[in-house]
Amino acid sequence: MIGRPPRRTLVLGGARSGKSRYAEELLFRARQVEYVACGLPADDGDPEWADRVALHQERRPGSWRTVETVDLVAELGRPGPPVLLDCLSTWLARVMDDCGIWTEDDGADERLARAVDDVVSAWSGTRRRVVAVSNEVGSGVVPATVSGRRYRDELGILNARIAAASQRVFLLTAGLPQRLK
């Protein structure tokens, strides 16, 4: 159908690049949007994080509904209004924690691989219009720790897989969007 918006859009960028604001702009004309917050809940005891969450909430229209969850498979699998996932970076950090990557639990790598496969499959198969935000890690500093490099590598792999299954991909630099796909 001509004029129909793409169903799957990925917005990448570095810290403070404007990626979340741009992703919100892509859905601004929608009457309703489910804003899926994949990070820590605002009341998790981190005042700086709570302030950032509050700023995000203030700029969103009142008709947008916030859902705090890491169950992206369920969100993408059910019918509903357009959805904004913010952000895959925080989702991955939480899932790596939940899988036991940092404590080297038996089976942690397999649980993580399955969780990522499931999200990529849900992203590829969703019937909803969806915009996802994620941190670009390909041009950043090499982390000084093994855990930092592991996270960077896993996020790079996730971003590449989501980008491959997206109709559009944007990279934000200094608030300026560049269309990559």
Q: How far is it, in rounded angstroms, from Cα 169 to Cα 167?
A: 7
Q: How many CB atoms lie within 10 A of CB 54?
A: 10
Cβ proximity of 10 and 172 under 8 Å:
no
| 56 catalytically annotated | yes
Q: How many CB atoms lie within 10 A of CB 57?
A: 13
Cβ proximity of 156 and 138 under 8 Å:
yes
Scored b (16 or more CB within 10 A) or e, 131-169 reads: bbbbbbbeeeeeeeeeeeeebbebbeebbebbbeebebb
Q: Which of 56, 64, 83, 91 is catalytic?
A: 56
Structure tokens belonging to residue 90? 């925080």
Determine the length of the chain.
181
Cβ proximity of 35 and 84 under 8 Å:
yes
For the annotated catalytic residues, the residue numbers are: 56
